[in-house]
Amino acid sequence: MELIKCNKVFDGEQRKYRHYSDTLKSEMTFSLYLPASEEPLPLVWWLSGLTCNDDNFSQKGGFQKYAAELGLAVVMPDTSPRGESVADSQDWDLGQGAGFYLDATEEPWRENYQMASYILGELSQIVKSLIPDFSGKEAVMGHSMGGHGALVLGLKAEERFSSISAFAPILTPSDVPWGQKAFRHYLGQDEKKWQEWDATALLSQTEKAPAILVSQGDQDEFLTEQLVSTKFLTVSENQPEVRYELQSGYDHSYYFIATFIEEHLKFHYQHLTN
C-alpha cells in the first residue's frame, strides 16, 4: 500500500493510494477523503463513469466541503483494472476505463475484470482499515456507468448499504447500446445472465427497495439512447423509497454533479445516521 498524494482540503485530507489487487491481478489506485472529525465516520462510495478514474470526482465533484460539514468519509475507486498485461479494447466504451462494475465471465476479460468482487471485498477491507474510527455504516453513489454500478451493487448488497444514489445512470443496460456491448463481451451472449447486472431487473425482484435517489438532467445528450428510464420508472412505481428527479437544463457533465452533490450527500447522511 503506497500513499501517492495527500492534500488538505476543508480541514480534511484528500488522499490517493496505489496498491496491488489480488482480485484484479493488477496495480490499482483509489482516492479517499477523510474529514477532520472526532466522531465515528460513515463511508460513502463514489463510482465514476466511462473513461474516468479516481481523480475525476476528487478534483471536479466539489463534494469535500459538504463531506467535511457532514462528517462523511468518501472513497473513489478506479473504473477498471489497468496495465499492459490487462485486456483492453480500442473502443473507448470497452476495456480499461470501462469495467462496468461487474464480474466478467468471458475471455479475455475474466482474468482481470472482477470489479464487483474487488469493490465489495478486497477494496472494502483496505478502505475500512484506513478510516481511523469507522462507524460501520455505508452508502453508495455514482455517475453514468458508475450510477449503474451504484444501483447494481447497492441492490445486490442491500443489507450493507443504507442508501443508494445516482447521477444520470444507465438504468437498463440490457436494453441500450453501452450496456449491450459491455454485457456481450464481459458476460457472453446469454441475455438471461445480463439480468444479474441490470438495475431495473434487480429492482423488479426486490420486495422493498432501500432508499434510492436518481438525478437526471433533461438536456443530457445521452438521455434518449443510453439512459432510458421508462422501464425503471414502471418497476419503481410500487417502491416508495425510490425517487427519480428530472432536472431542467442540466447535461451529463460534472457541472451537473457539482450542482446537486450537496443534495445527494445530505440524502445519504440522513439514512446513514438514522
Give me the number of domains the chain comprises.
Answer: 1
User: What is the Cα–Cα distance from 97 to 87, expressed in whole angstroms?
Assistant: 11
What amino acid positions are annotated as catalytic residues?
Answer: 144, 220, 252
Give pLDDT, residue 26: 97
pLDDT category, 274, cuts 50, 70, 90?
confident
Contact 166, 151 (CB under 8 A): yes
Strand partners, 8: 13
Cell of 105: 465471465
Look up the pTM and report it: 0.97
- How many other C-beta atoms lie within 10 A of the C-beta of residue 2? 10
Q: Is the pLDDT of residue 260 over 90?
A: yes
How confident is the model over 124-152, as pLDDT tens digits? 999 999 999 999 999 999 999 999 999 99
Full residue range of the structural domain in which residue 141 is found? 2-272
**250 pLDDT exceeds 90?**
yes
Residue among 2, 188, 1, 198 at smallest CA distance from 109: 188
pLDDT, position 232? 98
**CATH for 262:** 3.40.50.1820
Residue 68, φ and ψ in degrees, nearest 5:
-65, -45
Residue 240 has pLDDT above 90, yes or no: yes
